[in-house]
Amino acid sequence: MQFNFPKKLLLGAASAATQIEGGKVDGNWHDWYRKGKIADNSNPEITTMHWKYWKEDSLLLKEAGVQTYRMGLDWARIYPRENEVDYEAVWQYRNEILLIKEQGIKPLLTLHHFSNPMWFERMGGFLNTKALIYFLNYVKFAAETFGDLVEDFVTVNEPNVYTFKGYGEGSWPPGCKNPFKIIKVLENLAYCHIESYKIIHETRKKMGFLNTKVGFANHLRVFDPKNEKNPFDKMAARLSEYTFQEIVTRAFTLGEFCFPLRNKYKIEKGVYVDFHGVNYYSRTVNFMGVRKNSPRNDLNWEIYPKGLIRCAEKLDEIKRLPIWVTENGTCDNNDAFRCRFIAEHLKAICESDLPFERYYHWCFCDNFEWADGCSMRFGLIHLNYETQARTVKRSAEFYKKIIKAGSITKELWNEYVEPQKYNIK
């Protein structure tokens, strides 16, 4: 029993600017914290202080043995005011990317990961059609400024999660509870993604680069009926899948706007991604349920490795493109089952015929888990938030070894995976 990684597969880790950087930024999540909306009252100004420790962290990435790193830019840091760039921040990001590259690690750059500058949020954010130009200006600036260093870009992270939590559930900024707004924001985000796709390609082409890869990170989950035989359950699962992800996938990937999304900007059908970016974590039953007697992580999400392949198969049916797992990981506060989680998801990839090319484990280090705060740990590297000490977890050690071996060998499986068990609930 040995699982060899596909030849083309690069293995890496991911992070997002607001979740790790810390420091004073006038952004929507800093504002959300000030409004008292973070479960454990964690302050995004502190979190892992990566903005201060970026050099140490870049060296840690090398030590963790990753081949590629998905990192984010914070728009609010680059544009603290609507027409004003902070060149010191830009310079630091460039130096960080350079250092990562010097160590032989390939960067993948995310431009938008749930965070907006407050000046943009006050204009109405992605609800305001007239404000979208500010986002596109930032994308152009980022492509011009980092395009000589970076080939691969993620435009927008998880448009469905961003809109559902921020405009439907209201548990994330800006805290709206209005399904009509979800639709409008999704339409505007799809337009922004497609324009960004064109801008990044054009900008890098002018620089003489033809190897640009652009996509978005699509949050996909499996929706299954609670009871396979119950027509109501089947309908609930199908409806969830359609509204939460299928319309998003089609609009962003192909410029195909299905009900209830409208093609307001008269976008031509086409292919607006160079890869399918998949963020995969879990399965849902019916609308928001969790399967009984299933393995669970510390946030009570089901652990279901086969679901990664089921989601990727759906994308492949829509359009054959390379598949990049832009995020996959789990909340495991004691690092008690992360090795098993990694091994089982990678095993599923090894056994599949689909064109998987990247796997980014979420997250490189423990971090600010949005409204759940810093106590929910997803990292390969442990953070002591009081001392800011970083410690390599056993799961990071395992990940490093399998990357080096190019496979999950029988010995590594027996040593790291076999002893670990999930909690069943």
Residues that bind ligand BGC (CB under 6 A): 16, 19, 157-158, 161, 219, 279, 327, 362, 369, 378
CB of 328 to ligand BGC, least distance (A): 10
CB of 279 to ligand BGC, least distance (A): 5
Q: Tokens 């990961």, residue?
A: 113
CB of 353 to ligand BGC, least distance (A): 27
Report the distance separating Cα 243 and Cα 259, nearest Å: 9
Q: Which is nearer to ligand BGC, 212 or 326 (CB)?
A: 326
Q: Which is nearer to ligand BGC, 204 or 377 (CB)?
A: 377
Burial of 134 by CB count in 10 Å (0-12 exposed, 13-18 middle, 19+ buried)? Answer: buried
Kindly report the backbone phi and psi dihedral angles of residue 155, in degrees, each rounded to the nearest multiple of 5, phi listed first. -75, -60
Report the distance separating Cα 232 and Cα 329, nearest Å: 31
Q: Which is nearer to ligand BGC, 43 or 129 (CB)?
A: 43
DSSP assignments along 131-160, one per residue: GHHHHHHHHHHHHHHHTTT--EEEEEE-HH
CB of 117 to ligand BGC, least distance (A): 18
Q: Which is nearer to ligand BGC, 19 or 163 (CB)?
A: 19
DSSP assignments along 311-362, one per residue: HHHHHHHH----EEEEEE----TT-SSHHHHHHHHHHHHHH--S-EEEEEEE
Q: Which is nearer to ligand BGC, 155 or 279 (CB)?
A: 279
Which residues have a Cβ under 8 Å from the Cβ of 72 and sit 6 or more positions away?
15, 16, 17, 18, 109, 110, 111, 113, 157
Find the angle CA(77)-CA(78)-CA(81) to the nearest 5 degrees.
80
CB of 378 to ligand BGC, least distance (A): 6
User: Which whole-number Å values give the CA distances from 1 to 216, 352, 375, 413, in the listed order?
Assistant: 35, 16, 36, 9
CB of 338 to ligand BGC, least distance (A): 13
Which tokens sit at 301?
Answer: 């999400």
Report the amino acid identity of residue 140: K
Q: Which is nearer to ligand BGC, 15 or 203 (CB)?
A: 15
Q: Which is nearer to ligand BGC, 3 or 280 (CB)?
A: 280
CB of 254 to ligand BGC, least distance (A): 22
How many residues does the structure list for the chain?
A: 425
Strands 323-328 and 381-384: unpaired
Q: Which is nearer to ligand BGC, 64 or 331 (CB)?
A: 331
Q: Which is nearer to ligand BGC, 3 or 341 (CB)?
A: 341
**Closest Cα partner for 201 from 214, 216, 189, 191?**
214
CB of 327 to ligand BGC, least distance (A): 6
Strands 389-392 and 356-362: unpaired
Report the distance separating Cα 281 and Cα 413, nearest Å: 22
CB of 4 to ligand BGC, least distance (A): 28
